Amino acid sequence: MSFPAAPREGRAKRRRLSLGAGRSSRPEVPARRPRRAWVAAASGRRGGVGAAPFDAPLARTAVAMSSVSPIQIPSRLPLLLTHEGVLLPGSTMRTSVDSARNLQLVRSRLLKGTSLQSTILGVIPNTPDPASDAQDLPPLHRIGTAALAVQVVGSNWPKPHYTLLITGLCRFQIVQVLKEKPYPVAEVEQLDRLEELPNACKTGEGLELSEQFYKYAVQLVEMLDMSVPAVAKLRRLLDSLPREALPDILTSIIRTSNKEKLQILDAVSLEERFKMTIPLLVRQIEGLKLLQKTRKHKQDDDKRVIAIRPIRRLTHIPGTLEDEAEDEDNDDVVMLEKKIRASSMPEQAHKVCVKEMKRLKKMPQSMPEYALTRNYLELMVELPWNKSTTDRLDIRAARILLDNDHYAMEKLKKRVLEYLAVRQLKNNLKGPILCFVGPPGVGKTSVGRSVAKTLGREFHRIALGGVCDQSDIRGHRRTYVGSMPGRIINGLKTVGVNNPVFLLDEVDKLGKSLQGDPAAALLEVLDPEQNHNFTDHYLNVAFDLSQVLFIATANTTATIPPALLDRMEIIQVPGYTQEEKIEIAHRHLIPKQLEQHGLTPQQVQIPQATTLDIITRYTREAGVRSLDRKFGAICRAVAVKVAEGQRKEAKLDGSDATAEGEGCREHVLEDTKAESLSDTTDLALPPEMPILIDFHALKDILGPPMYEMEVSERLSQPGVAIGLAWTPLGGEIMFVEASRMDGEGQLTLTGQLGDVMKESAHLAISWLRSNAKKYHLTNASGSFDLLDNTDIHLHFPAGAVTKDGPSAGVTIVTCLASLFSGRLVRSDVAMTGEITLRGLVLPVGGIKDKVLAAHRAGLKTIIIPQRNEKDLEEIPGNVRHDLSFVTASCLDEVLNAAFDGGFTVKTRPGLLNSKL
């Protein structure tokens, strides 16, 4: 039977209504155009889809059992597996289709079919979720309901799915499943035929049960407010519908569980159906009586509202928002309300939660704002407003723990112990904002974790590297789709206490974009005078962060905004000396790598001399991260040897023989020895344990040394000097090379230099030209004008690395003085400092990192500005003992210390560049 063609205007109207006009998601397929006569009769008005949402299901259920001619379903039906409810004959249900089988059924039968028979499906209640897309067909319920698909709505978001509006026609029994793929098809037997059902009500017991059921049904309806149109229509339907149709219809309307509906579906006998439905009606009547009794004290104006609420519960439509899921949601809302009452949140936050809870109760669950409001309330309840941990304020235990976890770092550990001591004396101390600044690999992050362990607090790390949206810190406002709280509030929810240790990692690598500046958003978080009233955009309620101990880490303070830097206490974490690295390696790194690679100290030994070779020849870094990787490479190589040795032992012992050959193992070995030794050359004995890692083994595993002592080679000719530079990765030595050639007096600078270093080079040239006669410096033609017919090329090697900073002035002057005097700079001297045009040496920063870099390179003498002498106190004692420091206040002192025999001259001409 084909659908009659509809006029274009009406067809377009129904298509829009079926698809849900105004939705943001674009449907995948248009809704199937239902038969006009059916929809008009089912909805009670012409057009059908525009019927009132409250009374349309009642009218459709009535039509399904009375207006339709006697039903004869096909003997073969495609099966629709649903887990959202139980469809009874005469009831209407809206169900979602998202499993592979059901999707294929809709596309093949409903969207391509042209007859009424193609829209009849067999609906089988399925306990497991059919969306699981299991390969095998799950066990099917024996009894199902033949249904007519009235409407199909499709969508592509968030994934392809359909929503079906189906109306139950009659029961059927599965005789045999004919096929399972792509969707199940079964041979069925129709159970309740409408032309046979009235005869069941004419017998003695059947007639008595029918009258009793009708009496309870009328009593139930009359307890409701008849002024409500839906109640009046339901009362008229009780008289117009046949008695045999009432049990299924009323069971689908009143509040019943899926289990009870399944029992009604399985009741093939009409008498049994009456017997099972009457107790459900009695239970509903008693519930209404109790409800009316408890609400008698209400005002007369509320009686209409009291009558409407029961009818909404009575007119429960399976598959809609008022199914069993609503009961669970209501229970969750009640539990959420109890949690709000029992929570210890501040008064302002409690008022906001109470207000939002009232809105949530009045809000339909279909509204998108319902889920947003509920998520907001759940977050408010889960936040640790007043929940905190008790600090372990034992200074001695804290000192021992810090010393065991970290070697060296005396300044940092001293500051942590000071915080603990003050905390012990004053309990309401606000959490300080500490910022550990140092090169990578020195243990800044692990120190933060140790601080939390020392205090007995929860620890949470927030990685800020690359964050360029201020909403990551302050959260999104709830007016936006997908809004969520910021990382600070999320961290508090994760740890569950309001006084954790928050590690803001890589705070110097924050970005900035059109979405705001996250560094500016951190100002309120990291200000001890403001963070007690921190307001996240998502919460829109103040949260106290004053008890949180914030620890930030950075490689440099140059990229941190000054306003943010002002709110933090900077603690420098410099690189390690060679001795400290050796201790760290044998205390922490080597045991950790052995454990990670399944080795023991009895299998591999790494002497301290080998560790020193790795430090000096394979890793030149401020931290120990590369050193740790080198030990990992050694352990992997040793693990291969140990595994091979175990395998060879097993072969020699015959322990890998099969069950058959185990009995003749000794005999096989004797034959092998007797024949030849050639077969056992591959079965060499395993290496002796422990395996000792010396320099030769180190070279085999790690390859040739990466860093050789090239200082003396680089300084074998005039025009080369060694400077000291600071980088975010720690201190480094830097060579400066100069050469001269015939030209027009131009100065060429190469090596990717910044503006500051270019200015230092020009300053150095100007100072040397002004003092050329004093030091008897001449160009190639013997003129005291150093740039007369002479070009100078100044080069800083490693041109791929950007270099800038105010500390290369003295190095450039020494390099050029060596070039014009023809004398060699001492190969064991490095220097740092900035100059003025009058020859004064200005102080610079990063002295400790630069000194450690010179010590790693094997240099012996370091020239520093005199005003930096106070910074030598931070240098470890063993490093100061190995080095000789020269403090200079002017360039004369620098040149005298940089050259053997000094750089002063006699006044008598002819004896140039000799010491007085």
Residue list, annotated binding site for ATP: 438-445
What crossing angle do the helices spanning 395-405 and 410-425 adopt, rounded to 10°? Answer: 160
How far, in Å, CA of 849 to CA of 575, rounded?
Answer: 6
Distance of CA 728 to the CA centre of its chain: 28
State the Cα torsion 179-181-183-186 to the nearest 10°: 10
Best CA proximity match to 572, nearest among 437, 440, 729, 418: 437
Q: Is 744 helix (H, G, I), strand (E, B) or coil?
A: coil
Residue 368 neighbours by CB under 8 Å, 6+ apart? none
Pairing label, strands 569-572, 730-742: unpaired
Contact between 185 and 122 (Cβ < 8 Å):
no
Cis peptide before 182 (omega within 30 of 0): yes
Best CA proximity match to 891, nearest among 883, 907, 903, 906: 903
Residue 338 neighbours by CB under 8 Å, 6+ apart? none
Q: Is 94 helix (H, G, I), strand (E, B) or coil?
A: strand
Catalytic residue numbers, as ranges = 807, 850
List the binding residues: 438-445
How far, in Å, CA of 612 to CA of 591, rounded?
Answer: 17
How far, in Å, CA of 553 to CA of 556, rounded?
Answer: 9
How far, in Å, CA of 861 to CA of 897, rounded?
Answer: 9
Contact between 111 and 152 (Cβ < 8 Å):
yes
Give 370's strand partners: none
Best CA proximity match to 397, nearest among 407, 405, 385: 405
What crossing angle do the helices spanning 258-266 and 270-294 adopt, rounded to 10°? Answer: 150
Best CA proximity match to 275, nearest among 216, 316, 317: 216
How far, in Å, CA of 184 to CA of 881, rounded?
Answer: 87
Token pair recorded at residue 435: 């910022």
Token pair recorded at residue 678: 């050639």
CB-count burial class (<10 Å; 0-12, 13-18, 19+) for 142: exposed
How far, in Å, CA of 459 to CA of 451, rounded?
Answer: 9
